[in-house]
A and B are shown apart, each in its own frame.
Chain A
């Protein structure tokens, strides 16, 4: 080999410097990590997640046991005492009284229940509707897809609040006086009926992507029926974008309920809710006096929505760590 040039002589690395490993060896000590467990691990490290969890936990306790936060029950017969109108804060009444002589803090604590009930129930209903319709549209395709997609387009084109205003005022005219759960369910239904297309679109897109993956073919070749395949493989793998949307949607629904109540259409006046309290407070904004009546429920509302939006953000990052880099 006379043509070998300097720097290109035959070289063989000593074996002890470059030990050979078994081909494709399995790391026996590794700990099993499912996708969900991995997401949970990332979630645990996220300060956003802990902040939002604290907010949501406090809120949950408030909903379940409002008595822990205040000794006053705004639903009691003598809860409002006009002699207390705009009375300043006192022992046990940290923010004082409103126009009707009701305890502002107690009303805000009890109001959480209505807001959270609407938010949670409307989210569950929306996700169920959207998930099923989206999965069916994406999986079966063809005419089913066209029907579901066009129907969702129609609902999507109607502004959420406007549609709810119309529907709820019609129902209010037909069935007045429905009690707490009756009123809540009307708002929930109205919201769900007009909000599902967002979830449908996401679910449809995700299902379209997943259904062409090879593990779906593998399951079919094993003998799994179409429905089994959809249920066991496709939907679970298409779920993460929906979970993220659902968390954020919860916040949106809570705001929507308040907005509707503020307009006098959500929950009736006899139900204590943040929206109703804000609605009562609006006359005070003009005079600029006793603004604390507005600030307390408004802050509660803002913090709650923030909690859910932050949770959504944290979950999104945990489920899709790639998205964070961009």
Chain B
């Protein structure tokens, strides 16, 4: 230590920090337990963890923005050698904004919708005494330009609703850097954004903080992203730091079992591994075989809807046009959400539809599920055109053979229904079995999705997101379908839970010979699970090929951009 030059003292030092939330009169929930870390001037470090790991609480403790009942129990937070956890309010207030900037998580809710964007940034300048009046107005435009917003002068006069998510995040970055802080805390700055936008924003943030010499504390759940952007990693698990050190070292040689789990399951990293590709190939082989046995049965049976074809689901030139209100009351605008989309799903395989928000991928799923009538085009299920189905009976048979699993595990189960009622509902609707037989079936389904039968009498609010998604999968399987449409089924889950659910979907496919249509925005997940890919952009298919083709040899510029945007893809891994 004595040999260290004076100017190389840490900018921020957190020593044995303990942060708690008061939950009752005496009860305290410890959210951060004994965390220590250092950040040097100009350095980028990342704190990685799942939701509830305490990573945001740690960051908020540094900038004294702990919500409600949160408070520092013990430990020190030294900023340039001064303990700010015990400093008086005024001193912290002076520090916040001027020396420590914050880029918050959700660009949608962190700008005041009633104020022009420029005024909000000006407020930050004035509050920190950087500039006032005309000088501040000028500075606002400079800052917005610096944050990478073209035509900054006009933009400053616009309201947040006129900005896209990426533009709002840029405005928030401009605000966070307004008074040239020495430390910028970026709390999941891009989790709400599309991958390509995420990459742009992070690239920009990188260059900006490099030129300005700002230290960055990046909070993220994505290990790949963290390793790509930071020199030093801090991994948190249930309030404690389980491992920290140089980013590459951790990624290539994780020591703590939790870090090992994270490294092997993070989709952006796992997708590179050949082992996962091989495992998928085995699953597919088994699934295709089981599926062909089922197909043979279907072909002979008279009660099933289909004919036992190899292409179980075919979409032909699907188009959906929505009519929107124009700027004048009598004007109507036609908006093509989906244009001329065709694909085929082979029995026992997984076709993924990938696209960013607004690409029309979910609209395709809804049309395939017969929840939304297509404007034109056909959905053909096992040789039967869905348009030609007659009567409720045939429609019910289609429903029986094709079931969805939706994105939001918090909204896809009726909160008033117990888990038993939710899973039993399809059986009851189709009048299958007696009460006893239905109960046995529900038990069996819960077992298939690895949930204990004790959850039967519980309600959705009592389960975690991953557990609810298991229930949703059990419900989808209740009618023994052949096709399951997963609409962003794992997007809302933490990485480890996500990996677990993907594995479950794989196992179920091998066992039951299911075919999946897998809608997702995450190309990394696609590589782990899919066989064929359809890349969509603005309602159109830009590329359709097998997974290996798309990953190894993308044919389109857009696909390449998507692939490049997968965080951490360039980092070599050990093992």
Contact = CB atoms under 8 A, between A and B. Distances in A.
Indicate, yes or no, whether A interacts with B: yes
Interface of A: 1, 4-13, 15, 17-18, 20-21, 23-24, 26, 28, 30, 32-36, 213-215, 217-225, 228, 233, 236-237
B45 to A, nearest CB: 8
Contacts of A233: 414
Interface residues of B, number: 72
Interface of B: 1, 4, 8, 10, 13, 36-38, 40, 45, 232, 237-238, 240-246, 249-250, 255-258, 261, 366, 369-371, 392, 395-396, 399-400, 402-404, 406-408, 411-416, 418, 425-426, 429-430, 451-452, 454-455, 457-459, 461-464, 466-467, 472, 475, 479, 496-497, 500
Contacts of A8: 37-38, 40, 45, 232, 244-246
Contacts of A32: 418, 457-459, 462
Contacts of A5: 8, 10, 38, 40
18 contacts: A5-B8, A6-B4, A6-B38, A11-B245, A18-B258, A23-B496, A26-B451, A26-B455, A26-B463, A32-B457, A32-B458, A35-B416, A214-B407, A217-B371, A218-B475, A222-B403, A222-B430, A223-B396
Nearest to A1: B246
A214 B472 CA distance: 11
10 tightest A-B CB contacts, nearest first: A7-B38, A10-B245, A223-B399, A214-B412, A32-B457, A12-B255, A24-B466, A214-B406, A214-B411, A222-B426
A45 to B, nearest CB: 14
A264 to B, nearest CB: 47
A176 B151 CA distance: 78
Contact of B500 (A23, A218, A220): A23
Nearest to A15: B257
B-side interface mostly: mixed
A5 B40 CA distance: 9
B237 A33 contact: no
Contacts of B402: 221
A191 to B, nearest CB: 31
Contacts, number: 151
A28 to B, nearest CB: 5
Contacts of B40: 5, 8
Nearest to A237: B416
B404 A218 contact: yes
A223 B257 CA distance: 45
Contacts of A30: 458, 462
Contacts of A215: 411-414
A228 B1 CA distance: 73
A215 B464 CA distance: 17
Contacts of A237: 414-416
Contacts of B256: 12-13, 15, 18
B371 to A, nearest CB: 6
Contact of B37 (A7, A20, A26): A7
B432 to A, nearest CB: 11
